[in-house]
Amino acid sequence: MAKKNVIKDYKSMTPDLMALLVEAYPDGFEYDTIYFTNAKGEKVEAVPLETEDTKYLIKVSSTLTKNFEAFDLEEFEESVSSEDEDFESDDLDD
């Protein structure tokens, strides 16, 4: 089965997708960007990112760059881990 192709703007990115981006580009993505022309004929800079079922092009903006640099992957993973533990403990109460 072919992968979906999705173009994402920073505004519509989930924390999970941001975590994948940080994992994929731990040293930054400034040398890995590509350019494409959108339907309006505008030149767009984007970062490629692939998951099991989707090929993303994440549009590069100053907001994305700033939040990418500030994103704390360890803190995100700890919060996801604690959410999983909360879910498991809730299951045990039933």
Query: pLDDT tens digits for 22-57?
Result: 899 988 888 899 998 988 888 888 999 999 999 999
Residue 29 Cα distances to 5, 24, 69, 91, angstroms:
20, 9, 10, 40
- Band (pLDDT 50/70/90 cuts) for residue 85 is low
Please give the average per-residue pLDDT across 68-76, as a whole number.
73
**Per DSSP, which regions of 1-94 are E strands?**
4-8, 34-37, 43-50, 54-59
pLDDT tier, 68 (very low <50, low <70, confident <90, very high otherwise): confident
pLDDT at residue 81 greater than cutoff 70: no
Residue with tokens 């909360």: 86
Q: What is the pTM of this model?
A: 0.66
CB burial of residue 76 (10 Å; 0-12, 13-18, 19+):
middle
What local confidence, expressed as pLDDT, does residue 87 receive? 46
Return the structure tokens found at 26: 């731990």
Q: Which domain holds residue 43?
A: 4-93
Question: Which DSSP category does 84 fall into?
Answer: H
What is the total count of domains within the chain?
1
pLDDT, mean of residues 57-83:
73
